[in-house]
Amino acid sequence: MLEDHAVHGHLSFEHIPLGDLLLFIAFYYVFFLPSYGTNLPAGLFSPGIIMGIAYGNIAFTILTDDNYLGFTHIDNIMKRKLMCLGCCGIISAYVRLKYSVCVILLEIFQDWEMILPMFWCAIVANTVAD
């Protein structure tokens, strides 16, 4: 129950500047690498979710900001979906599990209409990572 609230708390719809998001990704990635390289179960799932949410937020900012692409017909529901796909892509790329990651993330985000896009995202991420 507690982890569920932590993940859903990051799925906010407030605007975060792109520079802040990129700085967050850079710092989080630097601190994530030592835990990934230890080959110990040091908690790789939560950092993947956090980085995936940030990547989805970056994709949404690029799509909707007037300085970049500036699409105005994209709503906040699409932002949540992009964050789900970001999480799926990041985690399935370094865990190398397609089906299990999709099922776990579908249970976390409880967005069952994302099942096919998540599977495609996991397949593409796993293929690119290989």
C-alpha 44: how far from its chain's center?
Answer: 13
* Tens place of pLDDT per residue across the chain (130 aa): 444 554 555 555 567 788 888 887 888 778 777 777 666 656 677 778 888 888 888 888 888 888 888 787 778 788 888 888 998 998 888 888 788 888 888 888 888 888 999 999 999 998 998 8
CA dist 64 and 49 (Å) reads 22
Residue extents of the structural domains in the chain = 2-129
Angstrom CA distances, 82 to 20, 36, 88, 96, 109, stand at 18, 24, 10, 20, 12
